[in-house]
Amino acid sequence: MKAQTIDEKSWGNIVSFGSSAQFNLPDLLPKELPAFIKKIENELTSSDRIAEIPKAYKVNDKEMIQELDKKLAQAIIKAEENINVEEVSVYGINFIFSDQSKYGFYMAGNSRNKHEVEELNLDNLKQFISENNINLENSLNKIKVQVYREDGRPYSEPLKCFLDFVDEDNHYCLIDGKWHKFNPSYIKFLEREVDRLELNYDEKFDIDVAVKGNKYDETAFNDERVERDGFKNGHKNLESIEGHKVEMMDLYKDNIIYFVKIGEPNKMAYVIDQALNTVKILKNTQEVVEVNKESVEVKSICLWIILDKKSKIEKLSQVKSLIFKMKLVDWKKEIMDAGYTPMININYKFSK
C-alpha cells in the first residue's frame, strides 16, 4: 500500500507499506539512518492521529439488503425528507449529456407500458405506483427508469440508481443504486472537507420568485449575467469526449469558468459531473478554451449553486444530501489535482 505523508520534509512525499516500509528520502545520508530509525520508533509509540479511518463499504448481506429496501420503500410512500430522486445516474462511463427532456417509469419485462413524465420527482413516481397498484415493498427492484436523451439512444436503469437515500441513524446510504454502510468518521470527514471550501455570497444574485416568476431558470440567469455583469455566455460551447458532446461551461469571466444550477441540493450532481468532464477536456487543451470563438485561459472553476430554499446556510456541511457532499469532495480533489482553484458561489431562489 502507498500513502502520502503529512510531513514531506521528515518522511518524504510517498511511503510504501507491506512486509517492510519504503521511504523516498534521497538526501538522507547513511550516517543519519540510526537517528531516522529512532524517529520512526518514537512515532510508533505516539498516540494515533486517526482514531477511526473514514470509510464506506458495500453491503452484501442479502437479509440486510431486503431490510433496507423495505425501509426505502416506506420512505418513498411517506415522502420522507431523507429520500430524493436524482436527475442524473451513473450510466457506463460517467458523462454529462444535455438536459433530459423526458423519462419513463415501467416494470421490468413490460417496457412497452411506460408512464412517461417530464421530470423525475417523488410525486410522479408515486403516481406511477398508485396507477399501477404496485406493492412497492415487494416490487421496488422491478421498477426501472428509461431516460430519453437529446444526444444518443435512450437507456434504462433500475429505479434505485436514481434515488438519494440516507439512513442517518444506522449509517446506510444508496450509492449508484447499491447499499453502502459508512462509519461516523466518514461523515465527519465529508463535512470537514466541504467546509474547507469558501462560500462566496452576493445577495444581488438571489432570485426573487415574486419578481422573476417560477419559470425563471438557468438560461435566464445566465443571460442576465451576460447583459448586466460582464460575463461571457459559454452555454453553447460543446466539446467531444469519447464520442459524447459535453457542455464546457455556462459562464466565463476573468479566467474563471462557471457552472450554474438552480434547485435542491440533490439536483446538484449534474453540475458537479459537468464540471469534472470539462476538467478532463482542459487537461488535453493546455488550459485554453474557446468562448464565443475567442481563446481564453482558465485558472479557476466555480460551481454557482442557487438553492431553491428560504433558509440560508453558513457552511456546506449544513446541506442534508450525503450524495451531494460526497460528489463535492471528489470534485474539489479533482479540480485541485488538475491545477485549478475550486470556487463555490452560492445564492438562493425564494419568495420574499
Q: Which of 280, 221, 211, 287 lies closest to 255, judged by CA?
A: 287
One domain for residues 197 and 258:
yes
Residue 262: name the closest of 220, 307, 318, 320 by CA. 307
For residue 238, the model assigns a pLDDT of 55
Question: Number of structural domains, the chain?
Answer: 3
Residue 199 falls inside a structural domain: yes
Mean pLDDT of 179-185: 86
Residue 86, pLDDT score: 63
Residue 287's pLDDT band (boundaries 50, 70, 90)?
A: low
Residue that is last in its domain, among 181, 212, 245:
181
Q: What is the pLDDT of residue 99?
A: 47
**pLDDT tens digit string along 45-86?**
876 665 556 677 899 999 999 999 999 999 998 877 667 776
Whether residues 195 and 175 fall in one domain: no
Per-residue pLDDT at 240 exceeds 60: no
Confidence band, pLDDT 50/70/90 cuts, at residue 197: very high
Residue 186 domain flag? no
Same domain, 155 and 77: yes
Q: List 115's β-bridge partners, or say none.
A: 105
In a domain, 158, yes or no: yes
Q: Do the domain assignments include residue 234?
A: yes
Q: Do residue 114 and residue 162 come from a single domain?
A: yes
Residues 203 and 145 in one domain: no
On whether both 23 and 62 belong to a single domain, the answer is no
Confidence check: pLDDT of 39 > 60:
yes
Q: Give the C-alpha separation, 230 to 224, whole Å.
A: 10
The mean per-residue pLDDT over the stretch 294-318 comes to 88
Same domain, 95 and 203: no
Question: By mean pLDDT, which of 131-135, 182-186, 239-243, 292-296 is the weakest?
Answer: 239-243
What whole-number percentage of the chain has pLDDT above 70? 85
195 and 340 housed in the same domain? yes
Q: Where among 124, 149, 181 does a domain terminate?
A: 181
Among residues 147, 163, 181, which one ends one of the domains?
Answer: 181
Report helix, strand or coil for 72.
helix
For residue 89, the model assigns a pLDDT of: 45
Predicted confidence (pLDDT) at residue 179 exceeds the cutoff of 90: yes
Same domain membership, residue 284 and residue 207 = yes
For residue 31, being part of any structural domain is answered with yes
**pLDDT at res. 92:** 38
Q: What is the mean pLDDT of residues 187-216?
A: 90
Same domain, yes or no, for 61 and 159?
yes
Note whether residue 210 is domain-resident: yes
Q: What is the pLDDT of residues 85-101, one digit of tens each?
A: 765 544 433 333 334 45
Integer Cα distance of 342 and 328 in angstroms? 10
Per the CB < 8 A criterion, the answer to whether 251 and 226 are in contact is yes
What confidence tens digit (pLDDT) does each residue in 111-125 have?
888 999 888 888 899
The pLDDT value given to residue 97: 39
User: What is the pLDDT at residue 91?
Assistant: 40
Residue 74: which domain range?
56-181
pTM comes to 0.65
Q: Are residues 88 and 70 in the same domain?
A: yes
CA distances from 257 to 241, 275, 298, 328 (A): 18, 9, 7, 17
Predicted local confidence at residue 85, as pLDDT:
73
Asked if residue 118 belongs to a domain, the reply is: yes
Question: Strands, DSSP E only, in 227-320?
Answer: 232-233, 238-241, 244-247, 251-253, 256-263, 288-291, 294-297, 300-307
Question: Do residues 343 and 196 both lie within one domain?
Answer: yes
- Whether 51 is covered by a domain: the verdict is no
